[in-house]
Amino acid sequence: MPRKNAFNRICILLLALLVLAVFGCSPKEDTTDVSADTAEPVVISVVTPEPTPEPTPEPEPQLRYIFLFIGDGMSTPQIQAANDALAAVGREPLSFVDFPVCGYAHTGNIDGDVTDSAAAVTAMSCGQKTENGYLGLDADGNRLTNFAETFRDEGRKIGILTTVSLDHATPAGFYAHVGSRYDYALIADDLFASGFDFFAGGRFHKTPNAEDLAVENGYTLVYSPDGAAGLSGRLIVSSDLTFGDYGVSPAIDGGERDGWLADCTSLAIDDLTQQNGFFIMVEGGRIDYFCHYNDAASFVAELLDFDQAVAAGVAFYEAHPYETLILVTGDHETGSVTLADGDRSALLKQTISSDECDDTLVAECISAQTPFEEALPLFAAAFGLDLDALTEDETAYLETAYLHTLKGDLTSDESKSQYGVYEPITCALDDLVAQHAGLTFGSGSHSLMDVPVFALGVGQEYFTGDYENTYIHDGILLAAEAYPIG
């Protein structure tokens, strides 16, 4: 029995050791003398990783807002002259020359001949070539629908802005349907009946009761952008800065005219922005005028003024990049302008238009019979010419022209043939400025030169390549269809 008891005790001991090993309870020597009251708990820090942010999806493009900027008479030479002048004095380039898309439009009328503004704008707005002088009619005299009218009927708001008269050919091409661009009374009737929301320009040719017609057709008529403050509803800004019968006064003459077109563009944007979108046409209408009359510095001033309006559109695009399309183009080229080496900064030194020169400096000199030696510094200062840098031949050229001006010894036809449409001294000064700038006018008329079409924004891809000017109409409608408003 003793052997059996010993064996049992050994088995019990082994079983106890096995239990201790399994449950980790084997005795350990504890040499730490820390009371339970002062022991620090062990804290285990767990770091939770930041969740990876989901990428923000780009908004779906919707073509809600459409701008069409038209420089009347503006093509590549005019744009390059203005841009070169800015570069020559260290200023920023034109706001549209670096647009991501640039196509080219052919400008001939239905017969392939040189277009006028009426046939050109009808092609652009209605998508069909027509006869010169026609507005909103095909070559057979049938009424055409332009895309501004289509957009109006779809609920977009419409704005038409220009620096010429409100009833001039280019603005009229978006609302009028007449057989002659000079039928101003009928054109004005179409304006008031259009139902468009915003107009701005230099008054009307033959509508003395414009204020009454405006009220009758639901418009408020004001005479400056400031006059529109606090107003709502349909609006006509009929500028009191008028010049002859050609609309707003020249940009180069400054004064209250500074920034007028850009201010009106900003006003139109504020008035017309809405859920259903807008179409705004803005015309730099007097680029053409000064190219016709070979006043280089004045057409550059008009183009720079036009560019301020484009910049207002670009600022709007930057706030609405997924909803906006901007197009900048011309209706045709005017003046057959060519460029050579020269000091382009000369185009920014002149501070008076040829019209203003004839009406002020020239008129005063004729009245006082001012000697050439006294008159020359006045003219040189106004046209930015350095008296000390004039050659003997240039001075003699100016003196001959000035004497013809004082004496009035040339018939109208002789004066136009030898100099141009202004007084001989004014034309001679224009000519010298252009020569110094390296710019030559080949004519005083329109040409068949293609016009660039610069595009930025939603649908810009529709305006690459070469095409007829009718495609402006097609491309805009294609872009609107491809990117509908949700």
Q: Where are the domains of the chain?
A: 65-341+443-482, 350-437
- Encode pLDDT of 64-112 as tens digits: 999 999 999 999 999 999 999 999 999 999 999 999 999 999 999 999 9
- Please give the pLDDT value at position 6: 42
Residue by residue, DSSP assigns 208-262 as TTHHHHHHHTTEEEESSGGGGTT--SEEEEE-S-B-TTSSBPPGGG-GGGTTHHH
Q: What is the structure's pLDDT at 486?
A: 86
Q: Is the CATH number 3.40.720.10 carried by domain 65-341+443-482? A: yes
pLDDT along the chain (486 residues), means of 10: 43 42 42 46 60 80 98 98 98 98 98 98 98 98 98 98 97 98 97 98 92 96 93 94 84 96 98 98 97 98 98 98 98 98 98 97 98 98 97 98 97 97 98 98 98 98 98 98 96
Which residue bears the tokens 């073509």? 63
- In terms of C-beta density within 10 A (0-12 exposed, 13-18 middle, 19 or more buried), how is residue 227 classed? middle
Token pair recorded at residue 479: 């872009």
383's tokens: 């046209």
Burial of 321 (0-12, 13-18, 19+ CB in 10 A): middle
pLDDT of residue 45: 56
What's residue 55's pLDDT? Answer: 76
Distances (CA, A) of 340 to 291, 307, 348, 438: 17, 23, 17, 5
Tokens describing residue 402: 């000035």
pLDDT of residue 52: 73
pLDDT for 54 equals 73
pTM given for the model: 0.89
* pLDDT on residue 338: 98
Query: Could you please report the per-residue DSSP string of 345-390?
Result: GGGGT--S-HHHHIIIIIHHHHHHT--HHHHHHHHHHHTT--GGG-
Residues in the chain, total: 486
Q: Are 97 and 52 in contact, with CB atoms under 8 Å apart? A: no
